[in-house]
Amino acid sequence: MNNNFLESAIKQFEYYKSLGEKTFHQIDEQKLFWQYNNESNSIATIVKHLQGNMVSRWTDFLTTDGEKEWRNRDAEFENAITTKEELLNKWNDGWQCLFNALNGLKEDDLDKLIYIRNQGQTVVEAINRQLCHYSYHVGQIVFIGKMICNEEWNSLSIPKGNSNTYNQEKFSQEKHKEHFTDEFIEPKL
């Protein structure tokens, strides 16, 4: 079962990564820095925070606390990113750190105890924690993207008004086992 869990978690992380990237592609560079108000974050700021969290959590994942001494979380919310290229580099850096850690795990690692801010949890619990955290922030990125693009937004899931058509197509197929993200993530070459 644990191998299935790890495979499923990786696919879900890949799915949320792809949602962020599909949002970035729809937005002009300067709008990646737009904030609704002073209390909200821009897409660039959210990316900076995600990268900081990912590098802290997943570096030496099994052997050191996930909240590294060198991390400056507060600075993650002071955006210093100035270009889309820099944003994408930070985005990819964080995700690469996560995938390197996950791909290095073995089945018997999943029950090991790791720590985040001295709070112990199993590797499975830590993966679930970060999956929820990252999907929360990717959802923010998508929502900001929808606000920015307005009528020009290209849906990342089932477009409004197409649920019946989508369901008819799904129910016309034989029952089969497939991860729900398979149709949304572009195949790796």
CATH of the domain at 27: 1.20.120.450
Q: What is the mean pLDDT of the chain?
A: 93
Nearest-angstrom CA–CA distance, 147 and 177: 35
Tokens of 85: 């290229």
More confident residue, 160 or 19: 19
Global pTM?
A: 0.92
Domain count, the chain: 1
For residue 165, is it within any domain?
yes
Tokens of 134: 């990252």
For residue 87, is it within any domain?
yes
Q: 79: pLDDT confidence band, cut at 50, 70 and 90?
A: confident
Return the percentage of the chain with pLDDT > 70, whole number: 95
Distances (CA, A) of 161 to 20, 139, 144, 146: 23, 21, 22, 17
pLDDT > 80? residue 96: yes
Nearest-angstrom CA–CA distance, 32 and 23: 10
Query: What is the domain extent for residue 11?
Result: 2-183
Using alpha carbons, select from 32, 71, 69 the residue that is nearest to residue 54. 71
For residue 30, is it within any domain?
yes
Residues 27-54: pLDDT tens digits? 999 999 999 999 999 999 999 999 999 9
For residue 189, is it within any domain?
no
